[in-house]
Chain A
Amino acid sequence: MSSIGTGYDLSASTFSPDGRVFQVEYAMKAVENSSTAIAVRCKDGVVFGVEKLVLSKLYEEGSNKRIFNVDKHVGMAVAGLLADARSLSEVAREEASNFRSNYGYQVPLKHLADRVAMYVHAYTLYSAVRPFGCSFILGSYDVDDGPQLYMVDPSGIAYGYWGCAIGKAKQAAKTEIEKLSMKDMTCREVVKEVAKIIYIVHDEVKDKAFELDLSWVGEVTNGRHELVPKDVREEAEKYAKDSLEEEDDSDEDNM
């Protein structure tokens, strides 16, 4: 899958003969090196789940968060270079805040996603700067548009989704997400499934310790994006661990 761009990959302002901008593709590779983040849009909200790899025992618990609050009603989960993602979260926050100040109501997610995507895209046009090395998922809930989910990648495209995954295990995660009938599920049901999917796609061999970050926004939180409360988290993690054990047991039986 990987192809070397030799000569046409030195800057984002150059096309290759077969019409690709290699710098943007390399930026997407940076995202694929990062651990997985997923989000699922359900009947009454959006749930985010991030597999946060713990690289050192010395890290304070809960540090290096990968889920951000962009506005009261909008959450953002990221994968890729965390520093790039943090600066983009500030951009998103300013956009949302300016919209609210100018027009008097909360920014609709489609518009916010398009604005931030335009910003990301601008960095793919010039040789003086490099593209952002992160993808991020934006999710929101408001009474007028209901739950909304958008994903922006380093090329500057924003698509709307019912469920999406970014990071190293995105293919495996997408397969699991496709099995869910999320349009008929509530946030409480989906949060358990999201935890289960993160546990499923987590590679025990290559990456050891990880923290599961879960957040949601929907009717259940009255339209505010928040980290999932402790009791719901624990229930979701228990469900995830139990489901994995069941699968392990059933594998043994087949043998």
Chain B
Amino acid sequence: MAVTFDGGVIIGSDSRATRGGEEVSSKTINKLVQVHQRIFCCMAGSLADAQAVLKTASFQLNLHSVQMEAPPRVIAAASLLRKLCYHNKDELQAGFITAGWDPQKGPQVYVVSLGGMLISQPFTIAGSGSTYIYGYTDAKYRPHMTREEGLQFVTNALALAMGRDNVSGGVAHLVVITEEGAEHVVIPGNKLPKFHDE
């Protein structure tokens, strides 16, 4: 998931990868990929497809940034991903959340869906665990949160999703992106907030 707050964005995910829903193949993978200094992407769908697409898009984004002699815009990263997902939709099963900060528009969150739709949202959730937290995020999200409120929002949401979804779990990876840069926060499973029945 990713959410904008006053002055930045927070992008977060769990760290579990499963094989066929039966075996946890990794407890600690990082699904948050840095495509540029202030732009991160979250992968969804087939991780193999997503990694391949991200590698290509990262390269194109870097080249673009060098040509423009300026840090790339978040919309540029999202548009490159969209182009790849849309024009190869027959072969790929990959979706992304792109979140970042740029000097032109400030904090932004974009969603690129499986077929190649690109939209901008103030916050978004995705992945199998997201179904359990639509109610929570819809109720608790407020525009112009502070950084601390944003962190609390994401931490709680991830904890609730990881608590109910069997294929989500592990640690919570969060990245806070602002004008100053990107800061990675990792919260181990046992330090996540506990809710009813835990």
Spot the interface stretch: A71-79, A104-112, A127-135, A207-215: A104-112
Assembled-state Cα–Cα distance A90/B79 (Å): 24
A104 touches B68 (CB 8 A): no
Given the contacts A102-B83, A144-B104, A108 and B68 also touching, CB distance less than 8 Å:
yes
Contact assessment for A103 and B76 in the assembled complex, using a CB-CB cutoff below 8 Å: yes
State whether B104 touches A103 (Cβ < 8 A). no
Show 5 A/B contacts (Cβ-Cβ < 8 Å), sorted by A.
A101-B83, A103-B75, A103-B79, A104-B76, A105-B76
Residues of B within 8 A of A144 (CB): 104
Q: Which residues does chain A contribute within 8 Å of B80, judged by CB atoms?
A: 102-103
Note all chain B residues with C-beta closer than 8 A to A105: 73, 75-76
- Interface presence of B147 (CB below 8 A): no
Q: Which residues of B contact A (CB under 8 A)?
A: 64, 67-68, 73, 75-76, 78-80, 82-83, 104, 118
A115 to B98, CA, bound (A): 28
List the 7 closest pairs (A to B, CB-CB), nearest first.
A104-B79, A104-B75, A103-B76, A144-B104, A103-B79, A105-B75, A104-B76
Measured in the bound complex, the distance between the Cα atoms of B79 and A44 in whole Å is: 29
Residues of A within 8 A of B118 (CB): 104
Q: Is the CB of A111 within 8 A of B68?
A: yes
Bound together, the chains give a CA A104 to CA B83 distance in angstroms of 10
Q: Is the CB of B75 within 8 A of A111?
A: no
Distance of A101 Cα from B116 Cα, bound (Å): 13
Alpha-carbon separation in the docked complex, A104 to B73 (Å): 9
Which residue of chain B lies nearest to A114 when distances are taken between CB atoms in the complex?
A: B67
CB neighbours of B73 from chain A (8 A)? 103-105
Rounded to whole Å, the gap between the CB of A235 and the closest CB of chain B is 35
Q: How many residues of A contact B (CB 8 A)?
A: 8
| CB-CB nearest in chain A for B67 | A111
Least CB distance, B153 to chain A, in whole angstroms: 27
User: From B110, which residue of chain A is reached at the shortest CB distance?
Assistant: A104
| Complex CA distance for A105 and B64, rounded to whole angstroms | 13
Q: Report A95 CB to chain B, min CB distance, Å.
A: 13
| Most chain B beta-carbon neighbours within 10 Å: one of A102, A103, A108 | A103
**For B82, what are the chain A residues with a Cβ–Cβ distance below 8 Å?**
104
Query: Smallest distance from the beta carbon of A109 to chain B beta carbons, Å?
Result: 12
Residue of A nearest to B73 (CB): A105
Q: In the bound complex, what is the Cα–Cα distance between A111 and B83 (angstroms)?
A: 21
Q: Which residues of A contact B68 (CB under 8 A)?
A: 108, 111
Q: Given the complex of chains A and B, what is the CA–CA distance between A176 and B79 in angstroms? A: 45
Q: How far is the CB of A116 from chain B (nearest CB, A)?
A: 14
Q: Which residue of B lies closest to A100 (CB)?
A: B79
Complex CA gap A105/B67 in Å reads: 15
**Residue numbers in B under 8 Å from A104 (CB-CB):** 73, 75-76, 78-79, 82, 118
Instruction: Looking at the assembled complex, report how far the CB atom of B189 sits from the nearest CB atom of chain A, in whole angstroms.
Output: 37
The distance in angstroms between the C-alpha atoms of A105 and B80, with both chains bound, is 12
Q: A108 to chain B: which residues have CB within 8 Å?
A: 68
